[in-house]
Amino acid sequence: MLNPLRLACLLLLLLLSLTGCAHHERALYNAPPAPGLDEALDVAMQEMVETFPELTEQGPMIMASFIDVKGTGGSTAFDRIAAELSAAALARAGMTVREVLLDGGQLLIMEGNDGLLTRRVRRLGASAGARTMLLGTYAHGQERLFLALRVVELRTDRVLASRGLSLGLDGDLQRLLRSR
């Protein structure tokens, strides 16, 4: 037969160990959410400028919609919002960013994925006084979205800075990638 004091100590230890498990389980379920597209691009652009500080001395930059590496054509909501969020993040990080809109107020949309800047893009950049351009490509897998970002000098096609990142492919991203 157990001594009442020993029994109380054992029950107290059991209770404390169960409380620790419950706390650990709550911590798993209440973990902060993974960063969203806006937060991830903000961090990526900040890191790009910190890694390549000479970017801020390269003069004004323009941006283009992001390109799906599959080259399926057409622009999605993701293509446009990713470019806008990246440009805003670069501006917060110290870059001078100019907006270049096409006729009808549309964002500059890059077609294809050959990586070459067309004469039209160079002309638009020059008319905006831009020396560089933010380009982005992406590919989506089953569970992740992979992005490659680079700042290119318009005159020479030289890549001045680059950054890659991947995001969990959540419902929001899937919807943006589907919307035309």
H or E segment and range at residue 77: helix 77-92
99 CB burial (10 A radius; 0-12, 13-18, 19+): exposed
Question: For 151-171, what is each residue's pLDDT tens digit?
Answer: 988 888 889 999 999 999 998
Which residue type, as a one-letter code, is found at position 62?
I
Instruction: pLDDT band for 180, please (50, 70, 90 cuts).
Output: low
In whole angstroms, give the CA distance from residue 12 to residue 93: 54
Query: Both tokens of residue 79?
Result: 């293509």
Residue range 6-19: mean pLDDT, rounded:
59
Whether residue 26 has pLDDT greater than 50: no
**Domain spanning 37-178: which CATH class is it, in words?**
alpha beta
φ, ψ of residue 83 in degrees (nearest 5) = -65, -45
Q: Where are the domains of the chain?
A: 1-31, 37-178
Is the overall model pTM greater than 0.85, yes or no?
no
